[in-house]
Structures are given as C-alpha cells and as structure tokens.
Amino acid sequence: MMKIEPKLFYLLILSLVITFSSCKSKKNALSSTKNKSEKSSSKIINQYADLMDVSPKSIKNKKLYEFIDDWKGTKYEFGGLNKRGIDCSGLVFLAYRDVFDKQIPRNTSQQLEIIKRKYEGQLKEGDLVFFDYDNKKFSHVGIYLQNGYYFHVSKSKGVMVAKLKDPFTYKYFSRGGSIM
C-alpha cells in the first residue's frame, strides 16, 4: 500500500473540498442570475401590460418587450443604427432581425413594399404602422403592439411606446400591415 504524507493528504482533501464547493457556488450563482433575469423579464412584462392596459398574460412575445425596454429612450438620429441614435426604419429593421428573426429592408419606403395591408382593427402585434409627417407619404414607421399601442422612435422623446389614436399622431396615421 502506498503511504501518503499527512501534509500532502491534507492538501489533496482541501483541494477536493474547494473544487466541489466552488462548483456548487457557481451553480447557485448561475441559478441566482437566472432568477434575477426571470424577475426582470416579469417586471418588464408587468410594466408594459400596465401601460397598455392589458393583462400580463396577454403579452406572449417577451423578447419584443425586452427589446423595447432595452432601446427605450434612445434618441432619434437620422440614419442611426445604434444606442447613440437610431431612426424609425432602423429600429424596425433591428426589431425584426433581433426579435422576429427576419431580414427586412432598412428603409421605410422598402418596408412599405413588403407588407400586406390591413385595416386598423385587424392589426396584430408585430405589424408595421406608417405615418405621413412633414407632408411626405409614409415618412415614419413603427411596430404595432396591442390594444392600440405601438412603439417607434420620436424625434423629441426617442424610442417610446405611444397610443396609435393619440390626437397628435393619429391624424398622420396612413396605413398598417403585416410583413409578407
């Protein structure tokens, strides 16, 4: 039988204890991170459900609302495509890429060409909504959510959720539809 020095035996046992306890603590840390993420997601869902006056259970696409929350407040910048500044068609382009896993054109006029037009009452979450600002047809785009709300990037307030029938914006509402 092999004889092990007591100091070496003690170090071997100590290293095994540290290894197994650190694995356990890493597992707990990962579990804790997951729980925080789930709580954060739940908080986001509740926040947007309250805003849109719907039940949190009616919000099915958590990834969409996390995307909106992540971009919320990002300022408007013509041609922008990052957190320093973004324009309306860029926001729609990124949302479709990151949330819906679809590649769509980058500019508003081309986005308009790929929708199947719908009546306002037929709009569903993810449909595009277009507006005519500054006497220009289809100069602005956003994404419909539910219960009459959509998100977009405002020149004055940045990325935000707004009510479609808001008296200021609704008079510019032009059309809506789903991506074909």
CA dist list (Å): 9 to 3, 4, 21, 23: 10, 6, 18, 21
- Alpha helices, DSSP H only, in the chain? 6-52, 62-71, 88-98, 108-113, 167-170
Catalytic residue among 86, 88, 112, 159: 88
pTM of the model: 0.79
Give tens-digit pLDDT for 85-101. 999 999 999 999 999 99
Reply yes or no on whether the pLDDT at 109 is more than 70: yes
146 versus 31: which is more confidently predicted? 146
Reply yes or no on whether the pLDDT at 130 is more than 90: yes
Residues comprising the chain, all counted: 180
Q: What is the mean pLDDT of residues 10-18?
A: 48
152 as an active site residue: the answer is: yes
Residue 10's pLDDT is 53
110 as an active site residue: the answer is: no
Residue 40's pLDDT is 87
Residue 157 contacts by C-beta under 8 Å, 6 or more apart in sequence?
73
Catalytic residue among 65, 90, 111, 140: 140
Q: Looking at the domain 60-179, which fold is it? A: endopeptidase fold (from Nostoc punctiforme) (3.90.1720)
Q: How confident is the model at residue 2 (pLDDT cuts 50, 70, 90)?
A: low
Contact 129/164 with Cβ under 8 angstroms? yes
- Where in the chain are the domains? 1-54, 60-179
Task: Look at 7-21, 121-135, 161-175 and tell me which has the smallest mean pLDDT.
Answer: 7-21
Q: How confident is the model at residue 23 (pLDDT cuts 50, 70, 90)?
A: very low
84 phi/psi in degrees, rounded to 5: -75, -20
